Structure 1
């Protein structure tokens, strides 16, 4: 077995890496990587691991058990050993030519990365994940890991290769697997609210929001309006207007600066939208609020306290 070291139950090659503090803060850290060719009697004992270990079946067939009934995985499938979860796996005697390649990962971002390709604790495997071309990319990722360990390449180059693998894994997922949701689930409504709250000042449209959550625009608009009592377009407008009003009250930014900070192309578009929403131009709104504040005056030190 060229390049592999012989062990009692396998031929394998593995290397370890110690990530830096910065790499740990980024949230996806390579810890170790390797590949193996199993001997006919290869079996692991039930055990737990401290890291995520993402594995790909390059050849053969295997049994995999993670707390429940065993599942049988074939060439092209992938599975993950989750931290602190008991697992056991090994060859099937009828098809002993098992070959695996694996990557040990650590960090807060790993779980979300795995979820993007359908790998979760309750179902830690995916069938037919490795389409044509992915096995070669996995070998390149392993080679890049060895260079990372030796200091011959950078963490950023390695993680870019990892993202390329996941990009292909997403593309290779069966039709309808991406963005799958229960029919009566509106979890994506919350996702859309979060997206709009983060990006309302970047001239996003309702179509951009629908594309982000992976829902057809018409269905997205109807469901959003039914659940929240306001259309997504009105929701976006409300975010822009309430934040525009806040900036008029709390800052000395010019109206042009406020318009641009809210994603409007010019002061005229903002003034028109603001006037329709508040029934007065932004300049009048600012003037009225400042008059109200002056009339209220500072709180007198000898004023009686409430209660």
Structure 2
């Protein structure tokens, strides 16, 4: 695996990540996050690394962030004399000066694409940061390595792609593709895509296109897929940036029939509404992910 800290999207945060990895490595500690998919993903990377490294820790899922009042100030749990790592997926907390508390939250960076002099600003989500921490704590650990294909999952869930092109998503997707961790393929090459992410898409026409796909050359594929997407372009409910990703650049994980976007979409649709059910669902899902290395779309 390549070094995440050498990438343009994480190198600006290198000093903070190194300090955070030292804090975590000197366990024992408590890992805490809200019972949301974003928090679970980040927590998973840290737990995988701590298990690989044999560092003692305990986990605490808190109520989902949608149940927390907007003006709530004290969302970081307190444990006297115990070090805490709190995953603040939505950037709700202020920085703390406490020597016993580490807060991992989204951070803005300025990045530059290869072969371009133009710089863009973007926000690095907590999952990417946690994956970098995991790779420092346990660079070659079995669980840490198996989680690598999910590095871009949190960035996909962020709102950046709902308005415009998210430079961080693009960079992390291409990074994982170039190191061979994932494949990036168009929609017809996904064996079990979740089609309801794209309003107006015809599953029947998609099946027909998939049967013809292997016999088409590159130009024919481009034209056929463009024509297939035309009806969906006239519908509302999805940004152009996210639409293009779902049609042309699906992220495929090793040994899985569903692409990453489909897996995340299904998990979000299945996520319980009530606090207690969400806490149990998140805990069971994370246990399963740590045990199998696969983020299943159901815990049944």
**Which TM class, normalised by the smaller chain length?**
under 0.3
TM norm structure 1: 0.25
Which has the greater radius of gyration? Answer: 1
TM norm structure 2: 0.25
Query: RCO higher in 1 or 2 (8 Å CA, sep ≥ 6)?
Result: 2
More strand by share: 1
